[in-house]
Amino acid sequence: MVYRWRARKSNFTVWSASRSETVERAKTHVAKQNRDQLVESGVRLQWSCPYCEVASQSHDKTKGFEDFKDHLFSHKKPLLESGVHVADDIDGTGSVAVMSKVQSQGADNARIHFLSPGNIVIIVTTHPADRIQLLKNKFNEWPEWTVVMTTKSDPLSGLSGIELMNIPVEVVELDKKMGLGNLTETVSRVIQEQEPKGGKITFEFDVLTELITKGQLQRVFKFLHLLNGRLKKANVLSHYFVDQERMTSSMNVLDPVFNMQIKADGKLFLRK
């Protein structure tokens, strides 16, 4: 179950599998939006509600602030929804940029969220063993078919207790010197093979940060434009991880090739 809270007047949205964390993040947002309703004088914290007649003051500033947040949220609770998916916002198809370090809890949560609608899962990664392990640990059952594409030599090293021959997973080794054009063609071929099965395809791309770091931004832009065009034709839901701290300015350039940008932060997904 995934929860969502969305501000009425802005794009601010938070999603999480944790209801309490969703609510806490929403409360913080609402309090921040209304910080001009707070007055500190000496040891006292005073506040008044912009939505009703309630006003209060407290000598315990921490408690006063918590009361303020709780009270404001009492007006905003109807905006909390459950049983949603982040991709509902893009009708379940298209490309999402996920700002997060590739190897992190937030990224793993995003993977589970964005791959789980898929009967067929395609992953481009330099950490193939970790990805297969995650599917095993976090999915109730294996997707019908999974294709893991990687440049890593000896891709299954580190995978314990899983024999590839016993699971519905195929590993495709990519040439380390492969250009972006060939990569698009290879992904396209995999999709062409999988499409006739008729299931929903979900796609994960882990190596965008490396591409941006190494390549020219315009070439990366063109690559993503072509790849996303191909994926869209097959109704694929795709997500791309981008290391947010290093990539803010590049993402301004690449923004048009994505249908949505979110940030993965622990158990939370955020959109501003």
Nearer to Zn ion, 54 or 134 (CB): 54
CB-wise, 52 or 167, nearer to Zn ion? 52
Q: Which residue has the tokens 């981008």?
A: 242
Find the part of the chain contacting Zn ion (CB under 5 A) among 45-53, 119-127, 148-156, 229-237.
45-53
# residues contacting Zn ion (CB under 5 A): 4
Q: How far is the CB of 176 from Zn ion (least distance, A)?
A: 60
CB nearer to Zn ion: give 38 or 251: 38
Bridge partner list, 181: none
Side by side, the strands of the sheet bearing 55-58 are 38-41, 44-48, 55-58
Q: For Zn ion, which is the closer residue by CB, 54 or 164?
A: 54
Site pattern 181..210 for Zn ion (x: CB under 5 A): ------------------------------
d(CA 82, CA 75): 18
Query: Minimum Å distance from CB 37 to Zn ion?
Result: 10
Q: Tell me, residue by residue from 1 to 40, as one string, x for binding to Zn ion by CB under 5 A and - for no binding.
A: ----------------------------------------
- Strands across the sheet containing 94-99: 80-82, 3-6, 13-16, 268-271, 260-265, 94-99, 237-242, 201-205, 120-124, 145-150, 169-173
Q: Under rule CB under 5 A, which residues in 48-107 are in contact with Zn ion?
A: 49, 51-52, 54
Question: At its nearest, how many Å lie between Zn ion and the CB of residue 49?
Answer: 3
- Which of the residues 140 through 179 are near Zn ion (CB under 5 A)? none
Smallest gap from Cβ 30 to Zn ion, in A, equals 11
Q: How far is the CB of 65 from Zn ion (least distance, A)?
A: 15
Closer residue to Zn ion in complex, CB, 54/159: 54
DSSP 96-127: EEEES-SSSHHHHHHHHHHHTT-SEEEEE-S-
Q: Which is nearer to Zn ion, 49 or 172 (CB)?
A: 49
Query: Interface residues with Zn ion (CB under 5 A)?
Result: 49, 51-52, 54
